[in-house]
Amino acid sequence: MDNSQRSPLHLQWLDKYNQALDNMQNHKENGKGVLIEVAAQHPLKDGQFPAEEFSARLDLGVKLYQELSEQKEVKFYIPGSRHQENGKADLVSLSTAGKNYLISKGIPAENIYADDANDDIMGEKGVYNSTDECFVSCSLFKKYGFAELHLVCSPNQMMRKMLCYISFGCFPHIHTASVDKMYHNPINEIFECIPKVLENNQAAQDVTRNARRVG
């Protein structure tokens, strides 16, 4: 298929993708160290601990950290403000829960960006969806001049996260962690979530943020 057969939206995203690839090559050549985003997952167990799916991603993140840190400096970003779902609020933020879990696995606290990054980059707006997560992750990646960017997420949310990253000029190495019962439904991702990202539907994203925001 040549470009004359592609829609304007298709061409727009191809351009974003190529720009993201160029940005990553520039960082690889001129940057230093590795940033790993582990996509958080709500709700938390007992309101304060990562549940099975979030724990599986964090465990994979620890494995990556151990492998990569043999030769490079590695930092984590664990996203997520304090969430609520169906009227039940977590006791702590997803960032706090994930950071505490990593520390319990031997990761130094100073190697983990969490609520500090959320507050610094997003302020009162908070971090409540994939767009917010990827924006903060890309901001950290660019601000501190990392050479590599890695993402750990669910296989069902991989494409949406990838598109969010591309929209902010990055294209990470992607690693997925699967469990028997996953929060994200692949059919809903294809027909509901991904189109919202492709069309940059801010109103729909605000609905998600407001539904998850505590207070």
Contact at 8 Å (CB) between 121 and 135? yes
Is the pLDDT assigned to residue 1 strictly greater than 80? no
What is the dihedral sign for C-alpha 177, 24, 96, 91?
Answer: negative
**Geometric angle at alpha carbon 132, from 130 and 137, rounded to 5°:** 90
Is the pLDDT assigned to residue 43 strictly greater than 90? yes
Contact at 8 Å (CB) between 127 and 136? yes
Question: How many helices and strands, by DSSP H and E, does the chain display?
Answer: 9, 7
Distance CA 68, CA 57 (A): 16
The whole-number average pLDDT for the span 159-172 is 98
What is the dihedral sign for C-alpha 66, 143, 204, 199?
Answer: negative
For the chain, what is the mean pLDDT?
Answer: 96
**Stretch among 31-40, 63-72, 185-194, 204-213 having the lowest mean pLDDT:** 204-213
Distance CA 20, CA 53 (A): 29
pLDDT of residue 5: 87
Q: pLDDT tens digits for 74-112?
A: 999 999 999 999 889 999 999 999 999 999 999 999 999
- Whats the size of the chain, residue-wise? 215
Residue partners of 208: CB distance under 8 A and separation at least 6: 128, 129
Contact at 8 Å (CB) between 23 and 68? no
Contact at 8 Å (CB) between 74 and 111? yes
Domain limits, the chain:
7-212
DSSP state of 190: I
Residue partners of 109: CB distance under 8 A and separation at least 6: 99, 103
**Stretch among 72-86, 149-163, 199-213 having the lowest mean pLDDT:** 199-213
Q: Tell me what percent of the chain is helix, strand and coil, each rounded to the nearest 5.
A: 55, 15, 35
The structure tokens listed for 16 are: 């974003």
**Confidence class for position 4, pLDDT limits 50, 70, 90:** confident
φ/ψ region of 108 (left if φ > 0, alpha if ψ in -120 to 50, else beta) reads beta
For the full predicted model, state whether its pTM sits above 0.85. Answer: yes
The CATH class given to the 7-212 domain equals: alpha beta
What phi, psi does 102 have (nearest 5°)? -65, -40
Is the pLDDT assigned to residue 215 strictly greater than 80? no
Helical axes 130-143 vs 115-122, angle rounded to 10°: 90
